[in-house]
Amino acid sequence: MQQQILSTVAIAATLVITGCASQQPAPAQVDPVTFVNQFESTFGKFDGYRRSGAKGICATGEFVGTADARNLSTASAFSGKPVPVVARFSVGGANPKVADNGKTQRNMALQFNLPNNEQWLMGNINAPVFGAATPEQFLGRLVSLQPDPATKAADPAKVKAFADANPEVLLQGKYFASQPVPASFGAQNYWGVHAYAFVNAKGDKQFGKWIFEPVGGVQGLTDDEAKAKGPAFLFDDLRQRVKDGKVAFNFNLELAEPGDKLDSATTPLPAGRKKVNLGTLKITSVSEDAGGACLTVNYNPMVMPKGVEPSADPMLAARAAPYAVSQGRRLSEGAKQQ
């Protein structure tokens, strides 16, 4: 296992260094151990759990790509044949006891298991933007939120000073505040947030940002409904909806146009960009307990198939190494997710 973790770190490091010849993602500027230590100092240390997206559940599914996707990319995920997917749905944050009925982040992480041992890994969130634009800004935000040992709460003056100087860190919170509490993991939009390049057989490169949109539409709860649901309803809700055959997502790509900003997880593409349906993901089973194939997976978003390439977004490359550090810690402590 240790060897597997080390090789993940090595692969992550190689990806960060080699990246994509034409895009050259910037090397991570924040030491990954510092990052994970700071998650623990700010949010608490919960042995065995992911240091972010701690409370989660495993599911499996199947993805079928479209002809439009094949025009954009040679990725084998889009062959049109069913591709098995190991999914994980989670509630944002490091606390495995976080309530399900808050206006906080929901995640959908996916592992597409492709022919010839290729994989496509991604961790998508139910907001069009992330909470920081650069790794340094993200670390600074976490430091500003660290509880003071005396009061056990963050110092409001520090939080405000950092946010005033870094207004991007407030965008995601404003988005969540504007949305209802999610009714279901299966009824949310999940954004990839970063730009990626799609490369076709002719070598044409199209950048875009993706969204997984629920086929049955987005559903939220009123404040009264959310209160009545209580702190733990999302897992059973997902099991029921999947049993009823009702959880599927359109994998859609918004196509970037010349001049669009491609290196920022806090800047969505302008509204109205052409959207192409890349295929449909159907969730077919949900774990009955805290186990399942996703438990030990590291959804490192720098792992993608031939035909998909990273953008120069510094937040994208910066995810690989801390994820491996978090994975190493949680596996050595005994992996848990509920």
Chain residues that interact with ligand HEM, rule: CB under 6 A: 35-36, 39, 50-53, 56, 88, 90, 107, 109, 123-125, 130, 135, 138, 193, 265, 298-299, 315, 318-319, 322-323, 326-327, 330
Using alpha carbons, list the distances in angstroms from residue 302 to 28, 120, 306, 319.
12, 9, 12, 8
Three-class SS of residue 29? coil
Q: Which is nearer to ligand HEM, 267 or 298 (CB)?
A: 298
* The CA-based dihedral angle spanning residues 95, 98, 103, 106, taken in that order and rounded to the nearest 10 degrees: 70
Decide if 186 contacts 220 (C-beta within 8 A). Answer: no
Name beta bridge partners: 279: 65, 251
Q: Give min distance, CB of 9 to ligand HEM, in A.
A: 12
Q: Give min distance, CB of 135 to ligand HEM, in A.
A: 4
Name beta bridge partners: 58: 88
Name the DSSP class of 294.
Answer: T
Q: Which is nearer to ligand HEM, 70 or 237 (CB)?
A: 237
How large is the angle between the packed helices 32-43 and 135-144, nearest 10 degrees?
30
Q: Which is nearer to ligand HEM, 26 or 70 (CB)?
A: 26
Q: Which is nearer to ligand HEM, 115 or 167 (CB)?
A: 167
User: Checking DSSP bridges between strand 220-221 and strand 181-182, what pairing results, if any?
Assistant: antiparallel
Q: Give min distance, CB of 149 to ligand HEM, in A.
A: 23
Q: Which is nearer to ligand HEM, 305 or 322 (CB)?
A: 322
Decide if 73 contacts 200 (C-beta within 8 A). Answer: yes
How large is the angle between the packed helices 320-333 and 2-18, nearest 10 degrees?
170
Q: Give min distance, CB of 47 to ligand HEM, in A.
A: 12
Q: Which is nearer to ligand HEM, 24 or 222 (CB)?
A: 24
Q: Which is nearer to ligand HEM, 36 or 171 (CB)?
A: 36
Q: Give min distance, CB of 332 to ligand HEM, in A.
A: 12
Name residues whose C-beta falls within 8 Å of residue 161's C-beta, 6 or more positions apart in sequence. 144
Q: Give min distance, CB of 32 to ligand HEM, in A.
A: 7
Name residues whose C-beta falls within 8 Å of residue 14's C-beta, 6 or more positions apart in sequence. none
In angstroms, how far is CA 265 from the centroid of its own chain? 11
Tell me how far apart the alpha carbons of residues 166 and 173 are, in angstroms, rounded to a whole number. 13
Q: Give min distance, CB of 100 to ligand HEM, in A.
A: 15
Among candidates 19, 11, 13, which has minimal Cα distance to 196? 19
Q: Which is nearer to ligand HEM, 70 or 130 (CB)?
A: 130
Q: Give min distance, CB of 296 to ligand HEM, in A.
A: 9
